[in-house]
Amino acid sequence: MDLPDLSPHADTLAAVVLGASLATVSGVIANQFESFFRRRERERSAALLFGEIFSTLRVILEGASAIRSVGPRYGPVTRRMLHAARREIDIYERNREAHVDLREAELRSDTHNLALRISLPLDGLLDSFLPDSEVDDDDRDRTFAFMMDNVELIPALVARLGKISRHNFENYDFISRLGDPNG
């Protein structure tokens, strides 16, 4: 069997093979970079979302705590604020699948754990306002205090989320600026 003589076209063939090889390698590298940046962007988005939810939740619950000292402890304004806090928890629960975008397992665990430690007493408080509930204000106070103890953990969690999202969540802390005319 005779092989065809490729000597006049050998340079062209080598250039085509080299070009195809380089295109394949650069395509693989480009896909890896794109995947890395897409994964990083999803992580930043998840951290931003959870940071906003927990920052807002903290503001609402600290506001509810402050309102309790003004009028009836569990009057209509306090109840509305507790319902607003529940809506924030609902947003968290609807977007919980974004946890997989957070690469740090401990952060995923801490985020979900804190959400549970706030939502369970919050649900208990909201249930205590139902007509058939026999819970008194002293029981509500203990439940509220437990919930607020957990709310104190939010700033540390939000700071961790802020590092990932490259966002400063301090602008959510308007309660500390209420007395500041420049705030």
Q: Using one digit for the tens of pLDDT, what is the confidence trace for 163-183?
A: 999 998 887 665 555 544 444
Cβ-contact 169, 57 below 8 angstroms: no
Cβ-contact 53, 169 below 8 angstroms: no
Give the domain ranges of the chain.
44-174
Q: Using one digit for the tens of pLDDT, what is the confidence trace for 84-130?
A: 999 999 999 999 999 999 999 999 999 999 999 999 999 999 999 99
Task: Please tell me the distance from the alpha carbon of residue 167 to that of residue 25, in angstroms, as a whole number.
Answer: 36
Does the predicted model carry a pTM greater than 0.75?
yes
